Structure 1
Amino acid sequence: MIITRTPFRITLGGGGTDLPSYYSKYGGFIFAAGINKYMYISVNRPIVDDLVRVKYSKSEIVSHREELQHDIAREAMRMMNIEKGIEIVSMADVPAGTGLGSSSCYAVGLLNALHTMKREFVDLQTLAEEACELEINRLGKPIGKQDQYMAAFGGLTVLDIDKDGTVKVRKARVSDTTIDDLNRNLLMFYTNTSRSADAILYEQSKSVKEGKQNVVESMHYIKEIGYKILEAVESGNITEVGILFDKHWAYKKKISSKMSNPYFDYIYDTAKKAGALGGKITGAGGGGFFVFYVEEKHSKFKEEMKRLGLREMRYRFDFEGTKVLVNFMDGVL
């Protein structure tokens, strides 16, 4: 048996500029953080038969990978030249559709487990690119490269994406004091709404491809704000992060009509009145978690969010990325 653990992520700056429709024309920039909420993937080889078993929110038992409904598991097995005789089980701290990159965590975690099973060493950059190949090129999902790279690397990480899709990865230069302050002041609350990001991302990509001025200009501003957020964090001026979050939210809502709704706008306005300097919604928008930057009176702020029916998710940053927790394999697949 092999078990991998892969971190979810929150985006701090530049979200959306990792989409091919944008970076292929203008280049992309992402500043994000891995968090200690995880996707766990267990891989095992059955002793008594050659069936394929995949357990997630459903349970599938088939005779060959091509019969699988789970598209990521099927494609990962195809990429790794595994046809049958395997059991794959996934569990996660956070459900899918909450804007924390769960599908890419699954892809990275599973590829990591399958490589380990075959006793193949691959570096994190290769693992991230394999997951991009799987999700973007082979499955045609309308997503960017952020989630796969953050699942692989974790940490407070900067991604510079060239027009040709090449991703340069570096760790942000952040002091331990600033890391602690960020963890204390960035508060996450579940909106009680899960969603598929595909419709929002498709609309966003289509608008960029068509050169819609308001969308393209908003994306440019979002990238510029991302640079400023990184600068503020690296310099330790994290009050500026909250102010920049507020500006980011205003531009983000211009990208897609599905980004927000009257209920989310009410939550955001209430949060501002309760002391948040700014905030953002995780992932593509339309659901998931709100992340608010709050410097003072945290208890009072949390009570106000609780009054709205929102549940806080406490977390710490993860600096390990995807990793193998258990490796009890005794042979090569």
Structure 2
Amino acid sequence: MIISRAPVRISLGGGGTDLESYYSKYGGFLISGAIDKYIFISANRRFYNTIRLGYSKTEIVDSYEEIQHGIFKEALRHVQPHDGCGIELVSIADVPANCGLGSSSSFTVSLLNALHAYNRDYLSQKQLAEEACMIEIEKLGQPIGKQDQYISAFGGITTLTFEKNGDVVVDPIKMSDDAIDELERNVLLYYTGIERSASDILSEQNEKSIKDESDVIDSLHQIKKIGYDTRNAFENGNLDKFGELLDVHWNNKKQLSKNISNPFIDSCYEIALKNGAIGGKIMGAGGGGFFMFYAPEKHDLLTRAMKEKGLKPMRFRFDFEGAKILFNMKK
């Protein structure tokens, strides 16, 4: 049996500039943080010469061509078990699907890591991230960027630079332990209870970027600059500045699509600002999922206000290990 895990993430600055439609013209830059909420995949040799998949549904099929789940299908097409026997793959998640924390890409990274370990074939973090990008973006045609796969593979609080040719430069941020502890204390996550697919919002942003629509391009330029400013704030230990940048980021992010926010989300945001938050934003593409706020004090007051709006708090710490094989005992 193989058990792998890969962390989900919170985007801390520059998010959205990892789409090819943007970085291929202007280059992208962002800061992402892996957190200790994981997607787990177990892989085990099956007695029968069939494939059994366990996720929100159960599939038992004779070959990967019959699989309904897109990521499972493409991953098994790409990394076929060498022993020629049946295989059982089961996924377990710490967070809901479509929650804005990059769980789909974490699933892909964790699954590929498990399949390669099953074949006794171990990849570098970069190879793992690139294979996950290939499956999600090239094979499945998802209108997403490369942030989620890379941060899930590498972990940490990390800057990602997206070159125009598609290369990704990974550089851990230079923060003191005290600054990391302070960031963990003051960044608060709340689940809105709204599940949404990122595809529609990102497709709209992608199309506008391809057409070079000035309002979207200008907002993405500003968001990229916020990423650089956030790096400076982190490395200088000026975390309240990060909170202020989050507010600017959120107002720019809302210019990318009319579906990123709605009256309920706007109401939650305004209440958060009145109850201790300096700034915040919806994670991922927007429209629902998790809110992230930066609040240097009055944590109890903010949490009480968010609970009154029906939002559920989720405590976390940063993950500095990235994708990992937890257990490996293949017979």
| TM bracket (short chain) | over 0.9
Aligned length: 329
Q: Which residue of 1 aligns with 2:89?
A: 88
In 2: Cα distance, 1:164 partner to 1:234 partner = 28
In 2: Cα distance, 1:131 partner to 1:316 partner = 24
In 2: Cα distance, 1:307 partner to 1:71 partner = 38
Question: Does the 8 A contact of 2:272 with 2:302 survive in 1?
Answer: yes
Gaps of 5+ in 2: none
Percent identity, aligned pairs only?
A: 53
| Shift in Å, 1:309 | 1.2
In 2: Cα distance, 1:138 partner to 1:306 partner = 40
Report Cα offsets for 1:122-162 as digits up to 9, x if no partner.
Answer: 10000000000111011111100000001101110110010
**Within 5 A, what are the aligned runs for 1:199-214?**
199-214=200-215
In 2: Cα distance, 1:126 partner to 1:297 partner = 43
Q: Which residue of 1 aligns with 2:279?
A: 278
Question: Does the 8 A contact of 1:64 with 1:84 survive in 2?
Answer: no
Q: Which residue of 1 aligns with 2:230?
A: 229
Matched residue type, 2:234: V
In 2: Cα distance, 1:3 partner to 1:154 partner = 18
In 2: Cα distance, 1:294 partner to 1:272 partner = 9
Question: Does the 8 A contact of 1:54 with 1:88 survive in 2?
Answer: yes
Question: Does the 8 A contact of 1:63 with 1:84 survive in 2?
Answer: no
Report Cα offsets for 1:30-57 as digits up to 9, x if no partner.
Answer: 201000000000011112x111111100
Report Cα offsets for 1:76-134 as digits up to 9, x if no partner.
Answer: 11111348611110000001100011111111001101111111121000000000011
**Within 5 A, what are the aligned runs for 1:233-244?**
233-244=234-245
TM-score by length of 1: 0.97
In 1: Cα distance, 2:286 partner to 2:228 partner = 21
| Shift in Å, 1:227 | 0.6
Q: 3-state DSSP class of the match of 2:278?
A: strand
Gaps of 5+ in 1: none
Matched residue type, 1:30: L
Structure 1 segments, 4+ long, off by >2 Å, are 81-84
Question: Does the 8 A contact of 1:4 with 1:42 survive in 2?
Answer: yes
Report Cα offsets for 1:212-247 as digits up to 9, x if no partner.
Answer: 111110000000011101110111000000100000
In 2: Cα distance, 1:51 partner to 1:84 partner = 8
**Within 5 A, what are the aligned runs for 1:160-179?**
160-179=161-180
Q: Which residue of 2 aligns with 1:30?
A: 30
Q: Which residue of 1 aligns with 2:103?
A: 102
In 1: Cα distance, 2:191 partner to 2:122 partner = 37
Q: 3-state DSSP class of the match of 1:5?
A: strand
**Within 5 A, what are the aligned runs for 1:276-315?**
276-315=277-316
Q: Which residue of 2 aligns with 1:215?
A: 216
Higher mean Cα deviation, 101-110 or 74-83?
74-83
In 1: Cα distance, 2:297 partner to 2:118 partner = 48
- State whether structure 2 residue 19 is matched by structure 1 residue 19: yes
Q: Which residue of 1 aligns with 2:157?
A: 156
In 1: Cα distance, 2:310 partner to 2:122 partner = 46
